Amino acid sequence: MLKALFLTMLTLALVKSQDTEETITYTQCTDGYEWDPVRQQCKDIDECDIVPDACKGGMKCVNHYGGYLCLPKTAQIIVNNEQPQQETPPAEGTSGATTGVVAASSMATSGVLPGGGFVAITGRNNFVIRRNPADPQRIPSNPSHRIQCAAGYEQSEHNVCQDIDECTAGTHNCRVDQVCINLRGSFACQCPPGYQKRGEQCVDIDECTIPPYCHQRCVNTPGSFYCQCSPGFQLAANNYTCVDINECDASNQCAQQCYNILGSFICQCNQGYELSSDRLNCEDIDECRTSSYLCQYQCVNEPGKFSCMCPQGYQVVRSRTCQDINECETTNECREDEMCWNYHGGFRCYPRNPCQDPYILTPENRCVCPVSNAMCRELPQSIVYKYMSIRSDRSVPSDIFQIQATTIYANTINTFRIKSGNENGEFYLRQTSPVSAMLVLVKSLSGPREHIVDLEMLTVSSIGTFRTSSVLRLTIIVGPFSF
């Protein structure tokens, strides 16, 4: 009996020696232990806390170094201050189970004896109590009995050693800039997150100098950091990456057209507008000021565009040029005994019968002075009325009108001259053939203006027996514009 008890105590002492080992230089722990990175050693796993229903049959779970024990709910540890006693014989009335009290020396652990009994060794002047699960005898508890716990532990109301939370109790010696971490049977002083221990002090970690780096800009703060983005970007949901802001959708500041680009945006204007100095608003372009050749007559600026206007008597064609309106084909105020003559920019009414006494109108629309009338002897035999219009400021010299004999007589000579209407020398008559001549404009004329020029053709017989003249009365209307 004593030999078996000695072997059991030796086994438990070996278990205790494993628990009290301070330094572990490897991270691989045996079954029932796990690596504690703070204390840098293996620590016991509390299976009673992590294993659901660890004990069956109404047994209670008691954590043990490297494992756990399943004990009857009636099992208790009894400690008194009596002198060590020898093992006592079984009590009367039991069914063969053995219950005894055995003295033990300077040990504090617990274990499972062969056969299913439970042994508690509590130290000096304490007792080893063994009870088989089949023994229904319950050892009465005595509140006056106390147990000795290791450093960092204290007796609970259930007479078991429980860890002292030095961090909560305030019995730790951590600095004010450190964080107290409670451990099983002890505590540790650590620096708060974002700090590292340098000597005895906790100094800030500059996270901006170590990965992960911010996408664009990193701002270090005491114990932490945060990321910032450049203008035109915003932080993504991961608070690290910067994504472009679509200013055209978020806060469109452009007056007309907005184009998003990486990190910014640009504004553009519609046709006929240009960006103002603030690069946001659009100002109308005065096309009429940029060029004097946009319109043939007058340019009218409008918001975002321009239009061309023409003077009275003209109409706009192809958006920019002016074309004369033929009022004689549309509407005019000429009487029935008048004929309408259109010119550049207007019209005039002339008598259908321009002949004046002593001239009479012939079917050929010629005014003829009868030979039988004595008044006609010193007058041209016939007068023909013609009308023409020219643009103002026409380039010179310029051929403008041709005169030609309608009746040709044999053995006659024809000469041509400007009889009247050329007092300022604007015209010149150039004979082009024996029966024709060309009226040439040699000085530029500005309108509106009307010129009446008499062109005379003299016909003389080659033998000097016959002489006559004919006059073409040409009315030249100069328009008010050069178009």
Give all domains of the chain, ordered by start, each with its CATH number: 33-61 (no CATH), 153-203 (2.10.25.10), 207-244 (2.10.25.10), 287-324 (2.10.25), 355-478 (2.60.40.60)
Q: Encode pLDDT of 155-175 as tens digits.
A: 888 888 999 999 999 999 999
Label residue 325 by pLDDT band (50, 70, 90): very high
Label residue 19 by pLDDT band (50, 70, 90): very low
- State the pLDDT at residue 423: 95
- State the pLDDT at residue 467: 85
Are 337 and 352 contacting, i.e. CB atoms less than 8 angstroms apart?
A: yes
Shortest CA distance to 448 belongs to which of 418, 421, 476, 427? 476
- State the pLDDT at residue 340: 95
- State the pLDDT at residue 76: 65
- More confident position, 44 or 440: 440
- State the pLDDT at residue 25: 41
Looking at residue 116, what DSSP letter applies? S
Rounded to an integer, the average pLDDT of 376-391 is 94
DSSP string, 26-71: -S---TTEEEETTTTEEEE--HHHHSTT-S-TTPEEEEETTEEEEE
Q: E-strand spans in 237-328?
A: 242-244, 257-261, 264-268, 273-275, 282-284, 298-302, 305-309, 314-317, 321-324
Phi, psi of 458 (to 5 degrees): -100, 130
Rounded to an integer, the average pLDDT of 260-286 is 95
Rounded to an integer, the average pLDDT of 414-424 is 95
**Which of these ranges, 49-53, 390-394, 401-405, has the smallest mean pLDDT?**
49-53
Residue 436 buriedness (CB in 10 A; 0-12 / 13-18 / 19+): middle
Q: Which residues contact 138 (CB under 8 A, 6 or more apart)?
A: 74, 76
Q: Encode pLDDT of 114-141 as tens digits.
A: 334 444 433 333 333 333 333 333 333 4
Q: Say which amino acid occupies 79.
A: V
Alpha-carbon dihedral 440, 446, 450, 453, rounded to 10 degrees: -20
- State the pLDDT at residue 133: 39
Q: How far apart are CA 271 and CA 119, in angstroms?
A: 99
- State the pLDDT at residue 329: 92
pLDDT of residue 460 exceeding 50: yes
Label residue 145 by pLDDT band (50, 70, 90): low
Question: Residue 72: is the preceding peptide bond cis (ω within 30°)?
Answer: no
- State the pLDDT at residue 2: 40
- State the pLDDT at residue 27: 59
Rounded to an integer, the average pLDDT of 424-443 is 96
Shortest CA distance to 64 belongs to which of 77, 81, 46? 46
Rounded to an integer, the average pLDDT of 278-290 is 94
Label residue 400 by pLDDT band (50, 70, 90): very high
Label residue 344 by pLDDT band (50, 70, 90): very high
pTM here?
A: 0.51
Rounded to an integer, the average pLDDT of 218-241 is 94
**Which of these ranges, 26-35, 93-102, 242-251, 274-283, has the smallest mean pLDDT?**
93-102
pLDDT of residue 7 exceeding 80: no
Percent share of the chain, pLDDT over 90: 57
Q: Which helix (H) or strand (E) holds 10?
A: helix 2-19
